[in-house]
Chain A
């Protein structure tokens, strides 16, 4: 038997945009065990509920993540609205859905670029991020912010999108979709990419479910869980099915995200076509008294904001459970038995967002 050695991976590593540390236990070139550790960017954002009024905390919630900031803000607002039994206007639900899906497009394209770059495909990286600019432009035009949108509030949304702009957005999606198809062809059918992804970092369906995997990690292993099916925001009114693959490897997780890009385009089109007229917010009266586990589907998977109020202007607890945290046990499982050279690709395949995870 070979001698075991421990190789530290991260927190600084060329493929890691954010810091996580893994102690890789190796026998020759094979990883036989992994011990993860975090805590490099813990900010304690959750404790700020004691310092910010519940209507202001949405700004903190949005800053949990610099990629899916809108969905964090929306999930927080949704939780407070559920505690307070606030019925927000239908148009606000639709606008939240549209911005959520643009956030998903932006996040998945960002990930595709990073993923390509990690494997040395720099042109693919640049093309992914070039397409992402189209999405960021729409977010900026409609909310004023590329990264932090600030358009969600307790009781609805702050900004409306005119019907003319909505029609233009739907029209622009045609050329975007064509370019996305070309990009997808490369990711899904290029031989050299497939050789890096197929059969690498496999997670079985049983393991994915038992370990609590979320998002594309779970769906890439055939677990068809997608919180949008619970019908929050306007998803109750829109048609879609979760994208799933069965192989459970890096290629399957990539394929799920690519299929979700097209699914997001479809959802935006449906939302634009069926957008109701009317107000975009309701007046908030009273203080939150009660608790709620507000759940939504982030680009990386299931997000949970647990909120508890006691009838004062400050909540007593905000707990943010992000999909990356729940995907860490799955990552450990995927890495066991892989080759050292595949570790960066496998780590990236869960689309880790450490800033989000550590809060």
Chain B
């Protein structure tokens, strides 16, 4: 039995701001944003909720595509957008607080983009 329905709508980058604005005006809160690398592309999910109704918008973009920030509508989005930039190297344009790659400081640049697992030991070689 599904705990809840989780509809996901795939949209183009050009429609992102308009669709997010609709959620904003509809009284939805921003739950999270995340990125997933699928081959040479990235999937970016934007999750919203109102009265326990959970909905997602999804962008599927080539790796070097710049996406617009939604922090103008959801101020708190800067944590997710900076995280996406620092871990995946996704360029986000117009963030209200841009840490310029210093929000999550990592030894390896963009560690979640093609992770290499350096330094693995014998117990990991299964």
Determine if A229 and B79 form an interchain contact, defined as CB atoms under 8 angstroms apart: no
A46 to B120, CA, bound (A): 16
- Whether, in the assembled complex, B47 has its beta carbon less than 8 Å from a beta carbon of chain A, the answer is yes
Contact bitstring A211-243, B, C-beta under 8 A = 1, else 0: 110000000000000000111100000000000
Max count, chain A CB within 10 A of own CB: residue among B2, B29, B74:
B29
Determine if B79 and A47 form an interchain contact, defined as CB atoms under 8 angstroms apart: no
A236 to B76, CA, bound (A): 31
- Whether, in the assembled complex, B23 has its beta carbon less than 8 Å from a beta carbon of chain A, the answer is no
A47 to B102, CA, bound (A): 20
Given contacts A47-B112, A306-B45, contact A330 B76 (CB under 8 A): yes
Return A87 CB to nearest CB of chain B, in Å.
7
Contact bitstring B45-78, A, C-beta under 8 A = 1, else 0: 1010000101010000000000000000011101
| Residue of B whose beta carbon sits closest to that of A306 | B34
Q: How many residues of B contact A (CB 8 A)?
A: 39
Return A203 CB to nearest CB of chain B, in Å.
12
A308 to B117, CA, bound (A): 20
Contact bitstring A187-215, B, C-beta under 8 A = 1, else 0: 00000000000000000000001111000
Binds B, one of A163-171, A172-180, A246-254, A318-326: A318-326
Question: What residues of chain A lie closer than 8 Å to B1, measured between beta carbons?
Answer: 87
A117 to B102, CA, bound (A): 32
A179 to B120, CA, bound (A): 48
Determine if B29 and A232 form an interchain contact, defined as CB atoms under 8 angstroms apart: no
Cβ 8 A contact of B29, one of A39, A209, A325: A209
Given contacts A230-B52, A232-B3, contact A326 B76 (CB under 8 A): yes
Determine if A304 and B38 form an interchain contact, defined as CB atoms under 8 angstroms apart: no
Determine if A295 and B54 form an interchain contact, defined as CB atoms under 8 angstroms apart: yes
Question: What residues of chain B lie closer than 8 Å to A358, measured between beta carbons?
Answer: 104
Determine if B36 and A319 form an interchain contact, defined as CB atoms under 8 angstroms apart: yes
Return B42 CB to nearest CB of chain A, in Å.
11
- Whether, in the assembled complex, A51 has its beta carbon less than 8 Å from a beta carbon of chain B, the answer is yes
A211 to B78, CA, bound (A): 10
Cβ 8 A contact of B111, one of A38, A44, A317, A325: A44
A40 to B124, CA, bound (A): 24
Question: What residues of chain A lie closer than 8 Å to B54, measured between beta carbons?
Answer: 293, 295
Interface SS, A side: mixed
A229 to B2, CA, bound (A): 14
A321 to B35, CA, bound (A): 12
| Residue of A whose beta carbon sits closest to that of B96 | A329
A82 to B1, CA, bound (A): 8
| Residue of B whose beta carbon sits closest to that of A358 | B104
Cβ 8 A contact of A37, one of B3, B38, B103, B112: B103
Task: Report B10-54 residues with CB < 8 Å from chain A CB.
Answer: 29-32, 34, 36-38, 45, 47, 52, 54
Given contacts A209-B29, A211-B75, A230-B3, contact A51 B112 (CB under 8 A): no
Question: What residues of chain B lie closer than 8 Å to A295, measured between beta carbons?
Answer: 3-4, 54
Determine if A47 and B111 form an interchain contact, defined as CB atoms under 8 angstroms apart: yes
Question: What residues of chain B lie closer than 8 Å to A319, measured between beta carbons?
Answer: 34, 36
Q: List 5 A-B contacts (CB under 8 A).
A: A39-B106, A317-B37, A321-B34, A326-B76, A330-B76
Which 7 residue pairs across A and B have the least CB separation, nearest first? Answer: A329-B76, A39-B105, A39-B104, A321-B32, A319-B34, A211-B76, A317-B36
Residues of A near any B CB (own CB < 8 A): 35, 37-40, 42, 44, 46-47, 50-51, 78, 82, 87, 209-212, 229-232, 292-293, 295, 302, 304, 306, 308, 316-317, 319, 321, 325-326, 328-330, 358
